[in-house]
Structure 1
Amino acid sequence: MSIPPKVLTEQRGHVLVITMNRPEVMNCSDDETADLLCAALDLLDEQDDLFVGVLTGAGGNFSTGGDLKAIRASDGVIKGTPRGDFGIFQRPPDKPLIAAVEGFAVAGGLEACLCCDLIVASSAAQFAVPEVRHNLVAQGGALFRLPTRIPYHLAMEMVLTGEPQGAEAMHRHGLVNRVVEPGQALAEAVHWAEQLLVNGPTALAATKQIVTRARDWTQAEAFVHQKELARQAIDSADRHEGLAAFAEKRTPQWKGR
């Protein structure tokens, strides 16, 4: 009997659904999983007819982070990928990515959520940074990304106690965009992704890149760099299509280039 891939991809029109597929271990990530996730995100960025991605987990959980048994067996050595650990931490995709969260999004699972641009969560979802409980230090971005997404003292409570927070609390404090009934996170995330498709895909990608990179720029640099990134939309065939569709009062037919 063949073993199913640890990461699944499914193209739904212009949306790529990426599923972490290790439900027997709550979708924790080992080197192979990270490599496959990295490859899936490369596919999202490189394929013109893919405009938006959705990242989710199989079997009722998003992800519980790194596979501690695999890490222990390798004496703590993590191979890493061109996108960093977990296949995403250091270089999320250039195109918009929506997290669809059921169950646990903890440790690296939460850090993967922080690499996404929008988060849809089941009302039963739980978010946590529990590394300190194992005398580990979260190094996938939580310690510097989380305090920019939620209030400082709540972020410190999460990273210093390791205690989980529910979806409603995370929604109230701005980490989660939408809360849905259990089992509906993926459907809602895909629906939201499809709603984004009314917009020009090259403009979506450029807009995301400017927003996510601007925190590293001075104001003077921002006006220079945003112009450089905006060129991918302004110089694209999609820009001409968008203007033509507006003039002709029709729906644009985007190409992603």
Structure 2
Amino acid sequence: MSTSEVRAQRVGSALLITIDRPEARNSVNAAVAAGLAAALDELEADTALRAGVLTGAQGTFSAGMDLKAALKGESPTIAGRGFGGLTEAHLTKPLIAAVEGFALGGGFELALGCDLIVAAQDAKFGLPEVKRGLIAAGGGVIRLPKRLPYHLAMEFLLTGEPVSGVRAGELGLANRVTAPGEAVATALELAEQLAHNAPLALAAVKSLTRAADGVPEAEAFALQRETMSTLMASADVQEGMTAFAERRPPRWTGK
């Protein structure tokens, strides 16, 4: 489901989602938020799609919130789904950010809302909201201190200064760091790797990781037992064990 602001293209078992407003550095306005939400709905609904890759057109990931649109009263958030229709959404399928160029403000927060990040060496990650009297309210203030040691996260949040894709890799923010122009190809390779694994198991990993965040350990293990009980009753677990015993690739059904 593509729009003029967001393109969705099937590549194998992955859905490549591209923010397509290069004239505005792929900043997020109401139309982009709606387009991203629609593309993510397509990813979730189609059982043939196993993972998503999020990127931006013409060498820029996203410069964040479209301030001009915001001044006109447009909202880049969607109720229950957050900034860009993504940052508060609960997706069951893996989503990979492929970052070229700027990922600033809300753009960085879109990447933080993904499960994996691939960054070009010369990409720029930053949260400059404090320079404009704001805070990184699309998940930056909440998520970044969970991904980085406190002092490193606070450097992003308090200075507003960006770092390169190389530095993002050194900090552990990026799973892969590529040559410029190679982020999407590498992200699609990762998506293909994920597609070899059981979809119910991938969804369970995501769900349990969210549910166990910040809860007491005993409660987290109780949640895990429930998840394992459900998985063990699935056809995919039986298929996985059978395929291993028969030394063949598994044929997942997601059931």
Rounded Cα–Cα distance in structure 1 between residues aligned with 2:91 and 2:198: 17
| Aligned pairs for 1:61-210 within 5 A | 61-74=60-73, 77=75, 80-210=78-208
Q: CA deviation at 1:78?
A: 5.1
- Would the aligned equivalents of 2:13 and 2:49 in 1 still touch at CA under 8 Å? yes
Change (3 A) 1:137 1:17: same
CA RMSD after TM alignment? 1.8
1:135-181, Cα deviation, whole Å (9 max, x unpaired): 12221010121111122112111111111111111111111111100
Secondary structure in structure 2 of the residue aligned to 1:90: coil
Rounded Cα–Cα distance in structure 2 between residues aligned with 1:49 and 1:61: 29
Q: CA deviation at 1:114?
A: 0.7
Rounded Cα–Cα distance in structure 1 between residues aligned with 2:220 and 2:149: 26
The unaligned stretches of length 5 or more in structure 2 are: none
Rounded Cα–Cα distance in structure 1 between residues aligned with 2:47 and 2:89: 19
Q: CA deviation at 1:48?
A: 1.7
- Would the aligned equivalents of 2:105 and 2:126 in 1 still touch at CA under 8 Å? yes
Q: CA deviation at 1:243?
A: 2.0
TM-score, length of structure 1 as denominator length: 0.92
Q: CA deviation at 1:248?
A: 2.0
Rounded Cα–Cα distance in structure 2 between residues aligned with 1:71 and 1:252: 49
Rounded Cα–Cα distance in structure 2 between residues aligned with 1:190 and 1:28: 23
- Would the aligned equivalents of 1:66 and 1:107 in 2 still touch at CA under 8 Å? yes
Q: CA deviation at 1:32?
A: 1.5
The unaligned stretches of length 5 or more in structure 1 are: none
Secondary structure in structure 1 of the residue aligned to 2:8: strand
- How many pairs were matched up? 254
Change (3 A) 1:70 1:216: same
- Would the aligned equivalents of 2:16 and 2:52 in 1 still touch at CA under 8 Å? yes
Rounded Cα–Cα distance in structure 2 between residues aligned with 1:15 and 1:77: 29
Deviates more, 1:115-124 or 1:229-238: 229-238
Aligned AA (1:89): T
Rounded Cα–Cα distance in structure 1 between residues aligned with 2:39 and 2:228: 25
Q: CA deviation at 1:225?
A: 1.7
Secondary structure in structure 1 of the residue aligned to 2:59: coil
Deviates more, 1:6-15 or 1:57-66: 6-15
Aligned AA (1:120): V
Rounded Cα–Cα distance in structure 2 between residues aligned with 1:79 and 1:117: 20
